[in-house]
Each structure stands twice: as structure tokens, then as C-alpha cells.
């Protein structure tokens, strides 16, 4: 009987018997954006060791897992970071009341049974581990169990395969890869982050079409890509990877976008990075429902008033934004992004804003940032209104927003109409 095979672009590899207890039972579909499956298939067919280099979350493990699942091969994994010893790979002598007995390590088990093995973070392996790996990766590679009484020699089962992964070389805190070992990998794959459309496809495979098509998913992928570019350019130390995106999206069902991003990702960062990312994220991620509602209201008022692109932002809207940030600069940026306007300052006398029964235009006014911030500290209502009129009709006509603090918005609008001579 002919053995069954699977094909990846003409590269045909046999399907195994599926008897290994370590065969991945489930594997979500691998979205192949860099011809990785074909390369892995060649490696499996020709019995070549493969090294996958790439940032965490670029799908290195998923690719191998998927192939093992499809070809019904057992897959063992060991992380060589954090002091994994040669014993753990090869095996060790243990003692019981009858004397000593030998227990195979994970590598020895895989070599005997014909499972595949993935060596994660191989660049961080101890010298004694590298020594073992080098010996089994030679052409006729085998393993000598030196500590075992009979000094058994273990040969590689015909189905045994070696895969290794590591982070890109410039990664802080990892050792440079041992050259002798590196040369024993016949194939080296650079795993990259997927382009946006492929990443959305991955999201769809994991979380379904509705989430993949959501504004949140699309914007989060955009944000992730910004962090990737920033890291590439040496401007930051972290990236949002596909796993982080999936984890964030799982949470957005139950909470607002910023909260989800915090819990799934940014709280793991150093405080300064966390803060910086949140500032960028607020500009990227979709509006919360209340914020969207308040924004629509502001736009409607502006349109109603025909203020020629100037927006009137009432205290409700401001409070909504302030609920999202306490940072003045972020607040300004958010307003600019959502409403397309540069705004007046809002903060100075906020506590007093709604006291009294006459309308107050409470903000101190700034002109468009291009012209530098001009603060108007005038105290009387008349002065404030005069500043407002000056700005609204000034060189940045159509690019301003004024924040009103007043309980009675409708009444405020009437007063503004009068002030700006709008009919
Ligand atoms: N190309 C891809 N196709 C399908 N899922 C992917 C892909 N890339 C990443 N993922 C998903 O992203 C997460 C991280 O991938 P993983 O393979 O663990 O990355 P790595 O081993 O490079 O750190 C997993 O949940 C995985 O399912
Ligand atoms: Mg991995």
C-alpha cells in the first residue's frame, strides 16, 4: 500500500502513523505568509535541521506544530533558556532501593521514538547542551549515554527531526549563537511578522469572522505594526505580537479597548513604556461607546451652529474624554484626531466651571499649536468671549474648538450663536 502524503507546493512528505502520544491533536490553521511551510517540508523530507529566527510571536512554533499535526508526527518541545541541563536532554541515573536505574531525557526519547523536537531559544543554551546537540547533529549523529552503565549508543530514528528557534541576534540579554552549532543547521528561516491582511486572517482563524472584521481588530493590527516599525528603527524595545493581539481581542468582548490592551499586554511593560504605549494606543484604538456618542454630539452641535469647522465641545464631552485620560497633551491629541480640530485649553478653572448662573466660557484659549500657545488669562466673561471670537475668526479659522462649561447646553448654544452672529 502506498503511504499517504501531504504536499506543500510540490514538496511531498509522508503522513506518519499518528501513534505518538506527543502528536499535536489540534493545530489552528497556519497562515503561511513567507513560504515557511514549503521550506519546512523540504527540511522534513530531506532530514535537514532547521533554525527559525524571529521575534517572539512570529508563528515559529505554530508553523512546526501545524506541520506535525498535518503529518501526524509527535512533537516534543524544550526551552533551552534558564539553565536547562544536558541531563534533562540526555537522561540521568536515578536511585531507588534496588539500586540505580537510567531514565531517558527528552532528546533521547525523541531520538528513539522518532518524534520531532523543537529546541526553543537555542541561543541561550548552556555550553554542555550545545556540546550534546552538536554531536547528534553531525551527519551520522548519535548520542552516547555516557553515564548509563552500558554506555548505550542511541541512533536517530528515521522520523526524528530537529527544529530550533531563537530571537533575532540583536535581542538584548541573549548570547550570540555558537558558530559551530549554527553551521549544523542546513536551513535557516527568518520568521517575520505577517502583513496586516494576513494577520487579520490569523485573527479570523482563531476568533472568528466578526472579531476579525471589527474596527478594534483592524486598529489593533495597525497599532501593532507601529510598534514593530518603532522597534526595527531602534526607537523602542517592545512589540505587540500576534499572540498579544489575540489576547487583547479576547478581552475586548468584556471591557473597553484600553483596559483590554493593558491587561493583555501593556501592563507587562516597564512603567515608562506602558505609559508611552497607552498614549499612542488612545490615538489608535476605537472610541468607547460613550466617547463615540459624545463625539457625535459635538459634531452635530458644530454642524448645527455652522461654525465653519470650529467645534464647540461641551463639558459632557470633555468629561468623557477626561475619563479616558488625565494627560493634557493626550486629551488635545484625542480631540484633534476625533474631531479634526485644535482646541482650547480646558483645565485651569474647571472646578469652578459650572458654578454661577450665567454662562461661562471657562477655558483659557490657545491658538493653533502652529502659532504657539497663547494663553488668555482674562477673568471676565466679556474678555473670554472676546478671545474666543478672535481665535475663531483668526488665522486658524475653522480649526478651533472651544470648550464650554455649562449645565445648560442648549442655552449656551443660543448665547454662542448670538456671540458669533450666527443665525
Ligand atoms: N502565521 C500564523 N498562522 C496562524 N497563527 C499564527 C501565525 N503567526 C502567529 N500565530 C498565532 O500567534 C500566536 C503566537 O505564535 P507562536 O507560533 O507561538 O510564535 P513564536 O513561536 O514565534 O513565539 C499563536 O497563538 C499562533 O496561533
Ligand atoms: Mg515559540
Instruction: Give the three cell numbers for residue 103.
Output: 531514565
Residues 295 and 396 in one domain: yes
Tell me how far the alpha carbon of residue 35 lies from the centroid of ligand 1, in angstroms. Answer: 15
pLDDT of residue 390: 56
Residues 24 and 156 in one domain: yes
- C-alpha separations of 57 from 92, 191, 224 in Å: 33, 9, 12
Residues 72 and 172 in one domain: yes
Return the ligand number nearest the Cα of 198.
1
pLDDT of residue 358: 25
Residues 182 and 81 in one domain: yes
Instruction: Give the three cell numbers for residue 97.
Output: 532501593
Determine the residue of 53, 212, 242 to mutate for testing ligand 1's pocket, defined as the one with the most ligand atoms within 8 A of the Cβ atom. Answer: 242
Return the ligand number nearest the Cα of 119.
2
- The residues, ordered by sequence, that sit 6+ positions from 331 with a Cβ below 8 Å of its Cβ are 321, 322, 325, 346
Domain end, chosen from 264, 284, 304, is at 284
Tell me how far the alpha carbon of residue 223 lies from the centroid of ligand 2, in angstroms. Answer: 22
Looking at residue 13, which CATH number applies to its domain?
A: 3.40.50.300
What's the rounded Cα separation, in Å, for the pair 7 and 63? 15
Instruction: Give the three cell numbers for residue 92.
Output: 540521568
Residues 209 and 310 in one domain: no
Residues 117 and 211 in one domain: no
Domain end, chosen from 284, 318, 346, is at 284
Residues 200 and 173 in one domain: no
Tell me how far the alpha carbon of residue 243 lies from the centroid of ligand 2, in angstroms. Answer: 10
pLDDT of residue 217: 92
Residues 172 and 206 in one domain: no
What's the rounded Cα separation, in Å, for the pair 318 and 403? 8
Return the ligand number nearest the Cα of 81.
2
The three state secondary structure string of 127-141 is HHHHHHHHHHHCCCC
Question: Residue 420's Cα: distance from chain center in Å?
Answer: 47
pLDDT of residue 141: 86
pLDDT of residue 326: 53
The partner residues of 109 in beta bridges, in order of sequence, read none
- The answer to whether 61 touches 55, Cβ cutoff 8 Å, is no
Tell me how far the alpha carbon of residue 28 lies from the centroid of ligand 1, in angstroms. Answer: 9
Look at ligand 1, atom 1, and give the residue with the nearest C-alpha.
31
pLDDT of residue 254: 85
Q: What does each of the 423 residues of the chain score in pLDDT, given as a tens digit?
A: 667 899 998 999 999 999 999 999 988 899 999 899 999 999 999 999 999 999 999 999 999 999 999 999 999 999 998 789 999 999 999 999 999 999 999 999 999 999 999 999 998 899 999 999 998 998 788 999 999 999 999 999 999 999 999 988 765 445 567 788 888 999 999 999 999 999 999 999 999 988 998 888 999 999 999 999 998 888 888 999 999 999 999 998 888 888 899 999 999 999 989 888 888 887 778 766 655 565 565 556 555 554 554 555 544 455 555 555 555 556 556 655 655 443 343 333 333 332 222 223 333 333 322 222 233 333 344 444 455 555 555 555 554 445 444 344 455 555 555 655 544
Buried b / exposed e across 204-225, counting CB within 10 Å, b at 16+?
bebbeeebbebebbbbbbebbb
Q: What is the pLDDT of residues 60-69, one digit of tens each?
A: 999 999 999 9
What's the rounded Cα separation, in Å, for the pair 315 and 409? 9
Residues 150 and 241 in one domain: no
Residues 29 and 148 in one domain: yes
Return the ligand number nearest the Cα of 244.
1
Instruction: Give the three cell numbers for residue 340.
Output: 479634526
Strands (E), 4-160: 5-8, 11-14, 50-53, 75-79, 91-96, 99-104, 116-120, 142-144, 153-155
- The answer to whether 359 touches 412, Cβ cutoff 8 Å, is yes
CB distance 194 to ligand 1 below 6 Å: yes
Question: How many domains in the chain?
Answer: 3
CB distance 288 to ligand 1 below 6 Å: no
What's the rounded Cα separation, in Å, for the pair 252 and 258? 9
Determine phi and psi for 118, rounding to 5 degrees: -110, 125
Tell me how far the alpha carbon of residue 242 lies from the centroid of ligand 1, in angstroms. Answer: 6
CB distance 334 to ligand 1 below 6 Å: no
Structural domain boundaries, residue 371: 289-419
Q: Ligand 1: which atom is nearest the Cα of residue 32?
A: 1
Residues 134 and 184 in one domain: yes
CB distance 238 to ligand 1 below 6 Å: no
421 exposure class (CB count in 10 Å sphere: 0-12, 13-18, 19+): exposed
Q: How many other CB atoms sit within 10 Å of the CB of residue 339?
A: 18
pLDDT of residue 291: 58
Tell me how far the alpha carbon of residue 22 lies from the centroid of ligand 2, in angstroms. Answer: 17
Domain end, chosen from 159, 190, 221, is at 190
- The residues, ordered by sequence, that sit 6+ positions from 323 with a Cβ below 8 Å of its Cβ are 290
Q: Provide the Cα torsion 80, 81, 84, 85; round to 10°.
A: 80
Determine the residue of 39, 59, 64 to mutate for testing ligand 1's pocket, defined as the one with the most ligand atoms within 8 A of the Cβ atom. Answer: 59
CB distance 30 to ligand 1 below 6 Å: yes
Residues 299 and 415 in one domain: yes
- The answer to whether 156 touches 107, Cβ cutoff 8 Å, is no
CB distance 5 to ligand 1 below 6 Å: no
Tell me how far the alpha carbon of residue 349 lies from the centroid of ligand 2, in angstroms. Answer: 53
Instruction: Give the three cell numbers for residue 229.
Output: 516599525
Instruction: Give the three cell numbers for residue 57.
Output: 510571536
What's the rounded Cα separation, in Å, for the pair 152 and 112? 12
Return the ligand number nearest the Cα of 55.
1
Amino acid at each position: 500500500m502506498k503511504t499517504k502524503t501531504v504536499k506543500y507546493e510540490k514538496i511531498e512528505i509522508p503522513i506518519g502513523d499518528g501513534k505518538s502520544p506527543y502528536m499535536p491533536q489540534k493545530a489552528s490553521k497556519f497562515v503561511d505568509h513567507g513560504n515557511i511551510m514549503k521550506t519546512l517540508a523540504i527540511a522534513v523530507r530531506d532530514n535537514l535541521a532547521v533554525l527559525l529566527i524571529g521575534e517572539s510571536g512570529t508563528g515559529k512554533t505554530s508553523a512546526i506544530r501545524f506541520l506535525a499535526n498535518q503529518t501526524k508526527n509527535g512533537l516534543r518541545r524544550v526551552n533551552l533558556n534558564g539553565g536547562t541541563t544536558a541531563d534533562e536532554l540526555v537522561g540521568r541515573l536515578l536511585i531507588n532501593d534496588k539500586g540505580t536505574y537510567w531514565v531517558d531525557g527528552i532528546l533521547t526519547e525523541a531520538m528513539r521514538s522518532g518524534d520531532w523536537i523543537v529546541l526553543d531559544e537555542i541561543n541561550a543554551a548552556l555550553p554542555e547542551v550545545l556540546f550534546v546537540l552538536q554531536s547528534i547533529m553531525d551527519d551520522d549523529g548519535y548520542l552516547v549515554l555516557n553515564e548509563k552503565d552500558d554506555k548505550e549508543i542511541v541512533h536517530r530514528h528515521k522520523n526524528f527531526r530537529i527544529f530550533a528557534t531563537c530571537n533575532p541576534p540583536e535581542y538584548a540579554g541573549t548570547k550570540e549563537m555558537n558558530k559551530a552549532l549554527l553551521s549544523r543547521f542546513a536551513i535557516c528561516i527568518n520568521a517575520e511578522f505577517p502583513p496586516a491582511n494576513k494577520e487579520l486572517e490569523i485573527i479570523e482563524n482563531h476568533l472568528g469572522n466578526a472579531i476579525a472584521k471589527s474596527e478594534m481588530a483592524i486598529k489593533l493590527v495597525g497599532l501593532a505594526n507601529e510598534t514593530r516599525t518603532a522597534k526595527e528603527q531602534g526607537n523602542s524595545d517592545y512589540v505587540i505580537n500576534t499572540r498579544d493581539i489575540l489576547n487583547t481581542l479576547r478581552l475586548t468582548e468584556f471591557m473597553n479597548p484600553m483596559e483590554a490592551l493593558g491587561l493583555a499586554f501593556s501592563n507587562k511593560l516597564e512603567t515608562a513604556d506602558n505609559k508611552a504605549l497607552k498614549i499612542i494606543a488612545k490615538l489608535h484604538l476605537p472610541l468607547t461607546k460613550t466617547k463615540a456618542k459624545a463625539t457625535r454630539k459635538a459634531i452635530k452641535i458644530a454642524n448645527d451652529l455652522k461654525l465653519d469647522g470650529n467645534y464647540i465641545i461641551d463639558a459632557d464631552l470633555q468629561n468623557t474624554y477626561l475619563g479616558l485620560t488625565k494627560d493634557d497633551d493626550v486629551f488635545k491629541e484625542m480631540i484633534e484626531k476625533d474631531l479634526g480640530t485644535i482646541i482650547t485649553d480646558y483645565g485651569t478653572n474647571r472646578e469652578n466651571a459650572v458654578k454661577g448662573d450665567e454662562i461661562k466660557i471657562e477655558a483659557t484659549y490657545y491658538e493653533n499649536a502652529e502659532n504657539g500657545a497663547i494663553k488668555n488669562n482674562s477673568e471676565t466673561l466679556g474678555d473670554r468671549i472676546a478671545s474666543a471670537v478672535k481665535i475663531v475668526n483668526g488665522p486658524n479659522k475653522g480649526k478651533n474648538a472651544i470648550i464650554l462649561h455649562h449645565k445648560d447646553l442648549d442655552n449656551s448654544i443660543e448665547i454662542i450663536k448670538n456671540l458669533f452672529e450666527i443665525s
